[in-house]
Chains A and B, each alone.
Chain A
């Protein structure tokens, strides 16, 4: 299974973390520090797998972002690479040629999309179109709810309470 997902920028800034195995806050910081030291220093034409603490970290660089996933020793590394690519494609479809800034400002959306893709450390939805549809449906739910709350009458009603 996937133990965690990390998005790290080339400068070592963390853009997204998602933990499927229990790690305490302190461990998380440590893991990220260790891994960014390990991964960011690797050259461009090397393989995408790193052995780390008896686990394996699969990473791939897209533009200035490193997508890293940590898996068990006997998981399939190539499959994980495909999942990473899959995620990037979904992001791309959602944001329309995604860039790092999209992820910086919409960090929660990147999470929600990841949640549609993976659950409990397993791939959940292999179809890009379905993911896009599901995310859009939830977005519209959020929007309608927001409209209700932010309408003037609502605010006045609340203020008058």
Chain B
């Protein structure tokens, strides 16, 4: 046994050997590491502690820098820990704090080791175990070691004491009951004059105060003293953090503190402290005009500084202050706008946030223009950052800040043409949303949609497909505003649409359907209805067809239709175009596309058969058929012309459940009923029967008419539902084969005029950012349809934080001194008499201040009496204990309504009484 052990320890690879070997990489890193791990596994089982600890150290190295699992060595680490030698201990503690976590099985075994080292006379051993405890403490460890930590809190070795203070934070977190034991000593350390101890204590309190500031209000006087006296910047920063949390809770405290903070701001030379002052003022003292002015002055110094760090922090501080004092931002707008073109992306994003904070309905157009120009020039990431923030700001609160929707819609079009634009989905939603909500903007919307649709280059950009789908939808839905519907047909059926994914292709086809119906309707039905007798008009129109464009009727159509006349000839061409474009899609693999193409082609077939072929037949027959074709067209047109409005999210819930329908009934027996019917799975659907077309044409006319009418109506409703909600029932395969024969839509090289430099833009915005007195909007803001319940964002029911979370509850018990809750564990004997006495003092004042709330009639006089009469106090104390139960309730309710409580108390106090906080007892301030 001893032989191999000796060999092991003599020829063991040390950590340095390991690192050297690893760096030489003779056999490759992975191979070397696995070999080393093998060695370590062997060595770590050795009985010799030196060998073991070296192995452990090597393992630490591999785990730490090469991320190899070292959990197998947990027990071995404990073995090394039991060594009496300091270097072994050090390695073991290092390994433990590196690898242990809450679910490490051997965690239970470590308690005694830690206890032993915590009580060791060697301060370094104590320090090591404290360090380890701070990392691995769980509930059990924290509970079991609280007494030791408590003792160390007043250790006369400063080195140990400051570490104990820092560790207390973790112990509190894990085991809140320890607060009852240790808190007093922690507070006593606040009065320590040693800067190291003070720094540690203040650090602990600043962490604690982040979580629940209210509990620490009673300690405000101590913090105040530290703030005024402190010479160390580290400490000042921490104290400022505490006050940033406390001040908003207690206005009188803020009154007291704001002056020292301003002093500090004026005289300090350290940037970190200066920044902390600035941040404290802008977050928590924003009502104090002079302090804010001073802070803003300092922020400006930061902004113009060369150091990018200061600039970033300056912008960050501005964005904090922006919510309350927007003037500060507009005062510094030049710097902010200039920062948009800073080389640092973080600074850019920060300044973008600020620019967006300045947006109002008066300047939204100008700011957006500037930003879009920036977006054109910047890298894709920031470009989309800009576009995203424009979109979200403008659509905020149902387009609250938009007055001129025509402008906004064309801006959307412009944004989607920016080469890097990846915000397709958001733009799509807004297009459709605005179309539904704002009636007046639809003509412009259609114009923008047209521009997008007819540009074949855009089809090559996969990010734009969503936008195009919205444009297609708009073109179909609001085709009546179009000047030239035929153009839409061509755009929707252009060959490059094959680049679109199937789901969007389906939308294109559906829109083409709508546009076609509209064209036919204007041409045949409406053209006649102006003449007065629909039947004769349709007859006339079909007559035209047969005699090949009678000149006079073409003129008549030219008048009834919009600027671009829809002649019969164009209809014929249109039908041909549809057939040409869609017949390849009949074999599409996508069910949606195939079905829609089939629908449309079936409809075309129907019309064509009825209308075009009638020329060869006799007069009577063609008239009869013509009438039927008109009927079909009218029916389908009616189905499409129903206007769609925005639908409330809760609309479904408002539909009453019909009588006799039990939704919750067990559907289990349905399975037995339908069990023998084999349902085809959705994947196996196939519509590729070539015979179907023949079937359709062979049906009797009447049947087809009804069928197609209904099916079209339902499919269109379905499609619209889909588009509106963006919910596609069938997953769309993303087969994006983009052949870019066309030049990109917006070649940066072509955008020469956008490359004007930053200073020009600054000049531009300098004018535009000045809020105009009278917005020169030529037209009033159009009505935006709002649904009351939906458009307000669902307000999250803000739950009151459970104030009785255990840690702050415990702290409050200590500071507010309700002594009826004694520590439940055996350590209740720890508080010595001295502490008890002090505690009592705390408690009494607290109880008394609570009483102020209870009987508000004579509280202020009673308080003053209290301070002079100790006897009465004692008497009162007994009294108070009797009342403790009710008091505590009262306290709870009072802490729930601190405002009322404070204001009431303030009203009672005469003005000459120095400012004091409601929960801060007098003797503290």
Pairwise interchain contact A51-B203, C-beta atoms closer than 8 A: no
B134: which A residues are within 8 A, CB to CB? Answer: 119-120
A158–B203 CB distance below 8 A: no
| Cα–Cα, bound, A124→B346 (Å) | 31
Measured CA separation A15–B66 after assembly (Å): 10
How far is the CB of A62 from the nearest CB of chain B, in Å?
Answer: 16
CB B478 to nearest CB in A, in angstroms, measures 42
Cα–Cα, bound, A108→B91 (Å): 9
For B, the interface residue count at a CB cutoff of 8 angstroms equals 68
What A residues does B203 contact at CB under 8 A? 122-123
**CB contact under 8 A between A119 and B130, given known A47-B344, A124-B163:** yes
CB neighbours of B397 from chain A (8 A): none
- State the CA gap A60–B260 with chains docked (Å): 32
Query: Within residues 1 to 54 of chain B, which ones have a CB less than 8 A from any CB in chain A?
Result: 2, 5-6, 9-10, 15-16, 19, 23, 48, 50
A124–B358 Cα gap in the complex (Å)?
A: 42
Complex Cα–Cα for A124 and B5 (A) = 41
CA–CA, A13 and B343, complex, Å: 27
Are A78 and B272 neighbours in the complex by a CB distance under 8 Å? yes
> B143-183: which have CB < 8 Å to A?
159, 162-163, 166-167, 169-170
User: Are B313 and A1 closer than 8 Å at their CB atoms?
Assistant: no
Chain A residues with CB below 8 A from B67, complex form: 25, 28-29
Q: Are A78 and B2 in contact (CB-based, < 8 A)?
A: no
B417 contacts A by Cβ under 8 Å: no
Residues of A within 8 A of B78 (CB): none
B131 close to A (CB within 8 Å):
yes
Chain A residues within an 8 Å CB radius of B61: 107-108
Interface string of B220-239 (1 = CB under 8 A from A): 00000000000010100100
The reply to whether B313 and A107 contact each other, CB–CB distance below 8 Å, is: no
A interface bracket (residues with beta carbon within 8 Å of B): 35 or more
The smallest C-beta distance from A46 to any residue of chain B, in angstroms, reads 4
| B276 close to A76 (CB less than 8 A) | yes
Question: CB distance B85 to A145 under 8 Å?
Answer: yes
Are B346 and A112 in contact, with the CB atoms below 8 A? Answer: no
A25 to B67, CA, bound (A): 7
Nearest CB of A to B274, in Å:
9
| A76 adjacent to B308 (CB under 8 Å) | no
How far does the Cβ of A83 sit from chain B's closest Cβ, in whole Å?
9
Q: With CB as the reference atom, state the residue of chain B lying closest to A138.
A: B124
A residues near B207, Cβ cutoff 8 Å = 1, 122
- How far, in whole Å, are A124 and B163 apart by their CA atoms in the complex? 8
Known contacts A78-B271, A155-B9, A158-B48, A115 near B131 by CB under 8 Å: yes
Chain A nearest CB from B382 CB (Å) reads 14
Interface presence of A98 (CB below 8 A): no
- Assess whether A142 is interfacial by the CB under 8 Å rule: yes
Q: Which residue of A lies closest to B93 (CB)?
A: A115
Are B131 and A49 neighbours in the complex by a CB distance under 8 Å?
no
Q: Do A22 and B344 have beta carbons less than 8 Å apart?
A: no
Are the CB atoms of A49 and B69 closer together than 8 Å? no
Alpha-carbon distance A100/B202, docked complex (angstroms): 35
Bits for B677-708, please: 1 = Cβ < 8 Å to A, else 0.
00000000000000000000000000000000
A43 within 8 A of B: yes
Please pick, from B9, B195, B275, the residue contacting A78 in the complex, using a CB distance under 8 A: B275
Question: How many angstroms between the C-alpha atoms of A161 and B48 in the bound complex?
Answer: 11
Chain B residues, CB < 8 A from A145: 85-88
Please, which residues of chain A bring their CB within 8 A of the CB of B130? 119
A142 with B86: CB separation less than 8 A: yes
B369 within 8 A of partner (CB):
no
How distant is the Cα of A125 from the Cα of B48 in the complex, in angstroms?
Answer: 36
Q: Is the CB of A138 within 8 A of B90?
A: yes
Residue from A15, A16, A108, A124 having most chain B Cβ neighbours under 10 A? A124
Interface: A134 (CB within 8 A):
yes
A47-B346, A119-B131 known; A82-B200 Cβ under 8 A = no
Residue A40 interfacial (CB < 8 Å): no
Q: Flag whether B300 is at the interface (Cβ < 8 A).
A: no
* CA distance in complex: A141, B123 (Å): 12
> Are A122 and B200 within 8 A (Cβ)?
yes
CB contacts (< 8 Å) of B241 on chain A: these are: 74, 76
Chain B residue numbers with a CB within 8 Å of A20 are 135
User: From residue 67 to 100 of chain B, which have CB atoms closer than 8 A to chain A?
Assistant: 67, 69, 85-88, 90-91, 94
Instruction: Decide if A78 touches B309 in the complex (CB within 8 Å).
Output: yes
**Contact residue among A76, A158, A159 (Cβ-Cβ distance under 8 Å from B237):** A76
C-alpha gap A137/B90 in the complex (Å): 13
Q: Does B102 contact A (CB under 8 A)?
A: yes
A13-24 vs B: 1/0 string, CB under 8 Å?
Answer: 111110010101
Contact of A76 among B23, B85, B200, B272 (CB under 8 A): B272
List chain B residues, Cβ under 8 A from A122. 166, 169, 200, 203-204, 207
Of B87, B94, B308, the contact of A45 (CB 8 Å cutoff): B308
B311 lies within 8 A of A47 (CB): yes
A64: interface (CB < 8 Å)? no
| Cα-based distance from A125 to B166 in the complex (angstroms) | 12
Q: A81-B309, A108-B94, A141-B86 are in contact. Are A24 and B101 (CB under 8 A)?
A: yes
Q: Which residue of B lies closest to A22 (CB)?
A: B101
Q: Which residues of B contact A125 (CB under 8 A)?
A: 196
B253-306 at interface with A (beta carbon < 8 Å): 271-272, 275-276, 279
Interface of chain A residues 1 through 48 with chain B (CB within 8 A): 1, 13-17, 20, 22, 24-25, 28-29, 43, 45-48
Instruction: List the B side residues contacting A95 at CB < 8 Å.
Output: none
Within the assembled complex, what's the spacing in Å between the Cα atoms of A82 and B236? 15
Q: Quick one: which of A44-103 are within 8 Å of B by CB?
A: 45-51, 72, 74, 76-79, 81-82
CB-based nearest B residue for A150: B50
Roughly how many angstroms separate A20 CA and B60 CA in the complex, as a whole number?
16
The residues of B that contact A49 with a CB separation of less than 8 Å are: 309, 312-313, 346
> Which residues of B have CB within 8 Å of A107?
19, 61, 64-65
**B199 located at the interface, meaning its Cβ lies under 8 Å from any Cβ of chain A in the complex:** yes
Instruction: Determine which of B65, B167, B313, B344 lies in contact with A46 in the assembled complex, contact meaning CB atoms within 8 Å.
Output: B344
- A48 touching B124 in the complex, CB below 8 Å, given contacts A25-B67, A158-B2: no
Query: Residues of A contacting B204 with CB < 8 Å?
Result: 122
Given the known A-B contacts A1-B207, A48-B309, are A142 and B87 also in contact in the complex, defined by CB atoms under 8 Å?
yes
B409 at the interface (CB under 8 A from A): no
Contact A17 B312 (CB under 8 A): no
Please give me the residue from chain B that is nearest to A13 by CB atom. B65
Residue numbers in B under 8 Å from A77 (CB-CB)? 275, 309, 313
A selection of 6 A-B contacts at a CB cut-off of 8 Å is A45-B343, A49-B309, A76-B272, A77-B313, A145-B86, A155-B10
Q: Apart from A28-B67, A138-B90, what are 20 other A-B pairs with CB-CB below 8 Å?
A: A1-B207, A24-B101, A25-B69, A45-B344, A46-B345, A76-B275, A105-B19, A119-B134, A119-B163, A119-B166, A122-B166, A122-B204, A123-B199, A124-B163, A124-B166, A124-B196, A145-B86, A145-B87, A149-B50, A155-B10
